Amino acid sequence: MARRIRVNLPGIPQHVIQRGNNKTQCFHEVNDYSFYAKLLREYQEKYKVDIHSWVFMTNHVHLLCTPQSDYGVSLMMQAIGRRYVLYFNRRYGRTGTLWEGRFRSSLVDTDEYLLTVYRYIEMNPVRAGIVTCPSKYHWSSFASNAYGRDSTILTPHPVYLKLAEHQNDRLRAYRRLFVNDVKGEVLEQIRDALQANMAFGHDTFKKRIELVTGQ
C-alpha cells in the first residue's frame, strides 16, 4: 500500500510524533535530552517553525507546531533526526537506524481542538505513569505554558494567548485545563489521526483541508 502523502500547510498547526524504531529508547541521559532540545531550537529557527507544546519521552517525541513555509516541519524533523542519530550512535557505540521510519503528523483544527492537543502532549508522562502530575516532569513545555518558565523553544499560539489578557490569568486558565486528562473517544481520535497522518478537528475543518489539498 502506498504511503499517504504528508500534508504541509503554512499557518496550520501540526501534531507531530517521532518514535524510536521498535520502541527503542532514544534518550538515556540528561545530555541526550539537552542535545535534542538544542537541535530543536536550531532547526525550528532555520526552517521557520513555531513550537507551541512539546514533550520528550524515553522512546518518542511529541511536538505541536505551526510551519511558516510549505515544508518547514518536514525539513526541521529530517535535519533533527539525522543530527541526533549521528550523535546517539557515536555516544553509545551503535550503528544503524534509531527512528521508526518517517515521523507521523496530524493537522489540527484551532477551534476547540488545539488546546486539547496541548493537553494531550503535556499529559503524556502522567498517562505513562512516570509522574503524578505534569509539573513534575522536566522534559516538556508544561512549566512554560502553565507557570511561565522562560523558554527559548516556545512560541505561544494565538489560541493560547486568548485564554486571558494578562499572563498570570492566562497561566491559571491553562492550569485549569489539566484538571482532567484527555480520555475516551477524543483520545482515540487524536491517536487515529496521528497514525493515519490525517486531520484532527471538526468535519468542516477536515473538508476545508480536503478541498485545499485534494486529499
**pLDDT of 89-108, one tens digit each?**
999 999 989 998 889 999 99
* Residue 167: per-residue pLDDT: 97
Does residue 213 lie within any of the structural domains?
Answer: no
pLDDT of residue 8: 72
Domains of the chain: total? 1
Q: Is residue 30 part of a domain?
A: yes
In a domain, 8, yes or no: no
At residue 197, the pLDDT reads 84
pLDDT in the model for residue 83: 97
Asked whether residue 69 is domain-assigned, the answer is yes
Kindly report, residue by residue over 24-41, the tens digit of the pLDDT.
Answer: 999 999 999 999 999 999
- Contact partners, residue 95, CB within 8 Å, separation at least 6: 89
- Specify the pLDDT at position 168: 97
- Enumerate residue ranges in the chain where pLDDT < 70: 1-7, 215
Distance (Å, whole) CA 55 – CA 70: 24
Full residue range of the structural domain in which residue 99 is found: 14-203
Contact 4, 101 (CB under 8 A): no
For position 54, which CATH number holds? 3.30.70.1290
